[in-house]
Amino acid sequence: MLAKMTSKNQLTLPKSITAAIGPVEYFDVEACNGQIVLTPVRIQRGDAVRAKLADLELSEHDIADAVAWARKSTTTRSSRKK
C-alpha cells in the first residue's frame, strides 16, 4: 500500500491498517535500515507519572512532603486574603 506524505510531513494511514491495530492515538516512531517503523503505544497516564517520578528519583516521602507543603501554603494564602 502507498501512503503519501504531505508538505507538512503528515501521513494518512490506510484504513485497513488502522482497523487491524485498533484504536490508537500515539505511535513510537523510529528509522530502521531505511524504513520507518510505527509501533502503537497505549499511554497509561498513571504509568507516565510514575515513570517521570522515577526519572526524577522522587520517593513517596518526597511527594508526601511536597503535598503537605502545598496544603500548608494554600491555607496560609487563604487566611491572608481574609
Contact present, 9 and 25 (Cβ < 8 Å): no
Answer yes or no: is pLDDT of 21 > 60.
Answer: yes
Rounded to whole angstroms, the Cα distance separating 11 from 5 reads 5
Task: Measure the CA angle with vertex 52, ends 48 and 53; round to 5°.
Answer: 120
pLDDT, position 48: 78
pTM for the whole thing? 0.49
What percentage of the chain reaches a pLDDT higher than 70? 88
**CA 24 to chain centroid:** 13
Q: How confident is the model at residue 76 (pLDDT cuts 50, 70, 90)?
A: low
Question: What stretches of 1-82 adopt beta strand conformation (E)?
Answer: 26-32, 35-41
Hey, what's the torsion of the CAs at 63, 69, 71, 77, to 10 degrees?
A: -150
